[in-house]
Amino acid sequence: MVSSMTGMGTSEIENNDYNISVEIRTVNNRYMDISCKTPSLLMRFEHNIRELVKSKITRGKVHVTVASEVKNAEESLPIRINTQNVYAVSNLLSSLVDEAGINEQPKLDHYLKFSEIFEPVEREEADEDLWKLVADALEEALDKLVSMRRKEGGALSKDLRSRIDTIETSLGRIEEMARDNSKEAYNRMKTRVESLIGNADVDRDRLYTEIVIIADKLDITEECVRMKSHLDIFRDTLDNSSVVGKKLNFLLQEMHREVNTISSKASNFNINHIAVDLKEQIEVMREQVQNLE
């Protein structure tokens, strides 16, 4: 299914320890570009967040915002008191007071000078539980985002198909008008040349052959055939591919080139008028395709 590159998804999940909220916004971009905004508590998961986003989205500018609320704030620091070392520091300070003859007992500030009274908490298991919570929130937000992108992509796809049908109809009109284009061009040039040369002594067979060659160059059959091929491939891409933006953009560039050639070769006011309308349709489609994944 065709997807737009514009969308948003949000989610909020909590457990006994944390409340996690996620917001993901995407806009169109030529490549995949992910930016993450996370609190310090979750910064270590940024790589995992990016990989999870990549598993669901292939193209676009992605803004991921993850917020966290710690329910038991006193347990959130990844350190704890080493009781044994506290006793050791206490004995050390008491000995110092006795040896120095100081009439003052050690205070908390003195204890805090010794980093040995704290030790890191083994947080591997805690990290695993926290990441599972974050991942669940991300999955939910991504599912909502993908759903929104597909809905908008479906609307764009429907409009593109309608415009392709319009272009195909207009192309049929051009082919009908151009059926005798070369013959009419030959007759016009033959009449014009004869009026210019009058009764001059020239090789008329050679002259008429050159006129035929020039008139044949005005034939647009080949361009119309290629144009119809592009339309078929365009439809097939919409029907059978999910990532279509770059390919459709290329096809529209080729279609624009064919229409320009048709306009310049046809030398027909009515065909040129239709060609202008075709180029307007193609330009609108190119703007729409820029937003497809």
CA distances 248 to 46, 134, 239, 265, 290, Å, are 33, 36, 12, 26, 9
Question: What is the rounded distance in angstroms from the CA atom of residue 95 to the CA atom of residue 97?
Answer: 5
Domain 7-74+123-149: assigned CATH number: 3.30.230
The burial class, CB within 10 Å (0-12 / 13-18 / 19+), for 124 is exposed
Return the amino acid letter for 93: L
Specify the pLDDT at position 77: 62
Q: At 69, is the secondary structure helix, strand, or coil?
A: strand
Check residue 194 and give its pLDDT: 62
Which pair of tokens denotes residue 106?
């050690």
Q: For residues 220 and 178, is the Cβ–Cβ distance under 8 A?
A: yes
What does pTM read for this prediction? 0.68
Please give the backbone phi and psi of residue 215, each rounded to the nearest 5 degrees, phi first. Answer: -65, -35
3-state SS, residue 151: helix
Report mean pLDDT in 10-residue bins for the chain, 293 residues: 93 90 94 92 91 94 93 64 90 86 84 85 66 95 96 95 96 83 63 67 65 63 92 94 91 96 82 94 95 92
Query: d(Cα 84, Cα 66) in Å, to the nearest integer?
Result: 39
- The Cα 126–Cα 77 span in angstroms is 12
Structure tokens at 86: 């506290």
Residue 123: the pLDDT is: 55
Quote the CA–CA distance of 6 and 62 in Å, as a whole number: 9
Which residues 6+ apart lie within 8 Å of 76 measured at CB? 41, 70
Tokens 């008329």 identify what position? Answer: 204
**Domain parsing of the chain, residue ranges:** 7-74+123-149, 79-120, 152-289
CATH of 152-289, one of 1.10.260, 1.10.10, 1.20.120, 3.10.20: 1.20.120
